[in-house]
Chains A and B, each alone.
Chain A
């Protein structure tokens, strides 16, 4: 792990991207440093997320987040290679691997930077849903850090934006599915059973669709779980409120196992 390469990953993503693309002799050092960054940064972030529940979940989180990142890279890189080639960038696989590793390494360093702040917020009593949102925001910032390196690495020329969009699409789909099958990461403290992996259920895309549909259905409901109910005017409305409350309670029970 080279401190110089680490500093360049953060300060000069353009240089790193150019070195990867041009198959520079220092690509080996960049790849090794990026792998170490992924192992360290993603493990630290996963461990902090796991600390919301504590116990074995800390180790599970520390193992699963780097595993998810590396599995996503392993499965996405052949697609990156093919898509870059058909969109006017027929580079060697070696260059694509180095570029993907460097991007993931940079994002893992950003996650590493977020880890202490997130830990402090969890320690101060942040709630389950807020923790999920904050962790997602940290992931988004890390994703942008990776994206800036990746887009620079695509160089000039026709199809740059299309290639970047294709990369993002593939990475999002593969990363989402990989992360989905490696759940749970964030587990409620009251959960008694902590599985390393949850049972196979649906897929990432199906879960996103279900959540969107659910959000669309409940967005126009007057019911709020933390607001005092207004007096119901008739029996039908009372019945509807009871059903909404039951559904919300079911949702909460389903989240017992964590996200």
Chain B
């Protein structure tokens, strides 16, 4: 900067006298370049607090998981609100009530059943870990649904055909459900990595069965309760 100023002043013809004090040299280039930062680190955010989890068994972990689950359901309801805007009125509330039912059903029916099956195979998993994985899966689904809600309001209100609107709404639900399932399986599969080969194999079958069950259950719940798909008029 100093060199630049001197050059401009010299061009203008009234260059000031050179400073007597020698300014300290610039730090080496490598110290000024920000160190490479991993993608998932940095400033705390709502998404990070929703998706991240403390260590298992920490005091208040169950409360945190419950809060995370409640936030996920609220975000899912937001998606319901947005797809309900197509018909308006009471339909908005019906959709808002119906969308969170699927993650609730999967967490309430599927996760306990999966835990029982995994325990039968002597998989190294305990109830807090299963609750934590369920909360993480639901949080992921909720976050995606909440993020897609504004865009989905655009699609359902501006599509002239009802089929097009239903297709858009279904696509968002499928996407969010897939991300949630992926997050759940990733969270619950981590402790299974410490198990023996036989247990891992059997657990793999159990998790595959759970994935099919969760997909079918979610589809059944959404199909029968969401008015945009013709359910629960």
Knowing A170-B151, A177-B158, A200-B160, the reply to whether A23 touches B42 (Cβ < 8 A) is yes
Instruction: Find out whether the CB atom of B183 lies under 8 angstroms from the CB atom of A86.
Output: yes
- Interface of chain B, main secondary structure: helix
| C-alpha gap A76/B159 in the complex (Å) | 17
Instruction: Find out whether the CB atom of A157 lies under 8 angstroms from the CB atom of B40.
Output: yes
From B43, B44, B45, B154, contact of A75 by CB (8 A):
B154
Instruction: Find out whether the CB atom of B158 lies under 8 angstroms from the CB atom of A156.
Output: no
Q: Determine how close the nearest CB of chain B comes to the CB of A247; give it in whole angstroms.
A: 22
Judge whether A78 is part of the interface by a CB distance below 8 angstroms.
yes
Chain A residues whose C-beta falls within 8 Å of the C-beta of B39 in the assembled complex: 88-89, 154-160
Judge whether B150 is part of the interface by a CB distance below 8 angstroms.
yes
Chain A residues whose C-beta falls within 8 Å of the C-beta of B149 in the assembled complex: 78
From A18, A21, A74, A81, contact of B47 by CB (8 A):
A81
| Most chain B beta-carbon neighbours within 10 Å: one of A92, A170, A174, A203 | A203
Instruction: Find out whether the CB atom of B164 lies under 8 angstroms from the CB atom of A202.
Output: yes
Judge whether B92 is part of the interface by a CB distance below 8 angstroms.
no
Instruction: Find out whether the CB atom of A74 lies under 8 angstroms from the CB atom of B150.
Output: yes
Instruction: Find out whether the CB atom of B161 lies under 8 angstroms from the CB atom of A206.
Output: yes
Knowing A202-B159, A203-B155, the reply to whether A91 touches B45 (Cβ < 8 A) is yes
| C-alpha gap A65/B143 in the complex (Å) | 30
- Interface of chain A, main secondary structure: helix
From A22, A157, A203, contact of B159 by CB (8 A):
A203
Identify the stretch in B30-38, B125-133, B200-208 within 8 Å (CB) of chain A at 4 or more residues.
Answer: B30-38
Q: Determine how close the nearest CB of chain A comes to the CB of B171; give it in whole angstroms.
A: 9
Judge whether A127 is part of the interface by a CB distance below 8 angstroms.
no
Judge whether B53 is part of the interface by a CB distance below 8 angstroms.
no
Question: Would you mind naming 19 contact pairs between A and B with Cβ atoms under 8 Å apart?
Answer: A23-B42, A78-B148, A82-B147, A85-B45, A86-B183, A88-B40, A90-B48, A91-B43, A91-B47, A92-B43, A92-B45, A157-B40, A177-B155, A178-B154, A202-B159, A203-B159, A203-B164, A205-B167, A206-B161
Residues of B within 8 A of A (CB): 34, 36-40, 42-48, 50-52, 140, 143-144, 146-151, 153-155, 158-161, 164, 167-168, 179, 183
Residues of A within 8 A of B (CB): 18, 21-23, 74-76, 78-86, 88-93, 95, 154-160, 170, 173-174, 177-178, 180-181, 200-203, 205-206
Closest 7 CB pairs of A and B: A82-B147, A157-B39, A85-B47, A90-B48, A92-B45, A90-B47, A203-B159
